[in-house]
Structure 1
Amino acid sequence: MKHPASLENKVIIVTGAAQGIGKALTEHAVAMGARVAAVDINRDALEDGLSAHGDASVRCFAGDVTDEDFVADVVRQTVAEFGDLNGLLNNAGIVRAAMITDMNRAQWQSVIDVNLTGAFVCLQAVGRHLVGKAKQGDPNPGSIVNVSSDAGRRGTFGQINYGAAKSGVMGLTMSAAREWGRFNINVNSVCYGLVETAMTETIRQERFRDRYLETIPLGRFSTPEEIAPATCFFLSDAAAYITGQHIGIDGGFHITS
């Protein structure tokens, strides 16, 4: 019997795939049977990190997720080389931390550009393809998972740009779920808490560590490998009746005051 969370025969685009969460998502998707188009702006890190899989499982695309032409080309090449496209793990993101009173316009805009506009560009490009499949008679064209954050639903300290962008990602999710539900396209968000990546290195330092751990009911930070299975679940057939949701994969962080 096929595993209910299997991604066998599915073709997935993963953005921000070179390291951290994106790399873990790619690794898990491949382990569950998917073929992956891995996207990242850092070509060397992308190819070095995923070279072990070979072209049969992973194809690497280096470029900027805010570039509409690049993203559209990734969709075209993925379909041409793998024969289909069934989903998107919309994960690419950056941080540019500063207190509100000190944040400059460049810090604000760079995070909005990548984390929100880039997420829209990728969602739109993949969505166009999935809607086209539906109009051609495919009853199950595919699914999209947008990576948001608890910063987007409870606020954050020193990263108002990131919190605003991740709130916006949840808006993308709900709007796309409403528009594309009639095509049987599922769109959901996952909201991570504190994951052990380079992006959270500062707040995991000794002087902040205990303060943050006290706000997590499970009492520990998560690893990218730990959150990947739950995230990829929303691309599987087992999640076929779930759409428009914001799912916390955060050890309970979002429920604490």
Structure 2
Amino acid sequence: MRTLVDLSNKNIMITGAGQGIGLAAAGLMRDLGANLTLVEIGDKGVALLKEQFPDALIAQGSVTDRDFVELAVSQSVKEFGGIHGLMNNAGITRTAMIEKMTAQQWQEVVDVNMTGVFNCLQAVGIQMIASSKAGEARPGAIVNISSDAGRRGSMGQINYAAAKSGVLGMTMTAAKEWGRYGIRVNSVCFGVVETQMTEVIRGEKFRDKYLSAVPMGAFLSPEQAVQSVAFLLSGAAEFITGQHLSINGGSHMGF
């Protein structure tokens, strides 16, 4: 029987792969037949990845470091012959109300969640363009992980909301510039996903408030969230580019 979402023999790079959404994505992409290049900064996450994905190429470093990102991409291409998909996922939060946010809290989030996304987008895109010029008709696809916070704001997270909104602009611009090379670029905007990053809003104090805004009445598991990414990286989405797909149970609806 034909499988609609098939990543067999594709090399997929996932940033922020050592926990949460990135870790769930690595498991799903492997099950769909992909080779994996996994980027993670933390020692604990790297150790977990080495244990669970012994056949993967694991690169330890920060997406804010352009030299590291370029080296990781180069190593991945050498190992697997090219990068066919990027899940641009690494992200952090530093929560504070606007009037209390420090310059450091602002800059740390923007550096990882926006500049880090650009660094990976650019480095992988350059490799995909080279593949296109070498004659590959569909050299690859990129999925940037944004958030509903980038569409409607998020109290206590002006840094995060601004960065995630910037990711949407990067997605559309890259899709326009690189469509001629057959490179697709999309973003997904998750609602509340059950990860360490959302523990506070899923706690007793805020849980009912946030759940009441979700028509489907539940938060996303990481495993549910990443199915959308696999779809967008696969041939099943071959004519979808420049789009922002909301995965949120209906908590944000737009057209």
Question: Of the candidates 220, 238, 255, which is equivalent to residue 236 of structure 2?
Answer: 238
Specify the code of the residue in structure 2 equivalent to 1:86. H
Moved more, 35-44 or 88-97: 35-44
Q: Cα offset for 1:81?
A: 1.1
- 1:1-257 to structure 2, matched below 5 A, reads 1-55=1-55, 58-255=56-253
Residues 26-65 of structure 1: per-residue CA shift (max 9 Å, x gap): 111111110110001113322324523312xx12110010
Residues 103-149 of structure 1: per-residue CA shift (max 9 Å, x gap): 01000000000000000000000000000111111101000000000
Contact persistence 1:12–1:37 (CA under 8 A): yes
Contact persistence 1:143–1:235 (CA under 8 A): yes
Q: Secondary structure at the match of 2:120?
A: helix
Q: Secondary structure at the match of 2:186?
A: strand
**Structure 1 residues 50 and 215, CA gap change in structure 2 (3 angstroms):** farther
Q: Identity over the aligned pairs, expressed in percent? A: 53
Contact persistence 2:82–2:127 (CA under 8 A): no
Mapped to 2, the partners of 1:46 and 1:249 lie a distance apart of 28
Contact persistence 2:49–2:58 (CA under 8 A): no
Q: Secondary structure at the match of 2:127?
A: helix
* TM-score, length of structure 1 as denominator length: 0.97
Residues 201-252 of structure 1: per-residue CA shift (max 9 Å, x gap): 0111101000000011111111101111111110000000000000001111
Mapped to 2, the partners of 1:2 and 1:13 lie a distance apart of 25
Contact persistence 1:196–1:222 (CA under 8 A): yes
Q: Secondary structure at the match of 1:146?
A: strand
- Structure 1 segments, 4+ long, off by >2 Å, are none
Mapped to 2, the partners of 1:245 and 1:237 lie a distance apart of 16
Mapped to 2, the partners of 1:147 and 1:10 lie a distance apart of 20
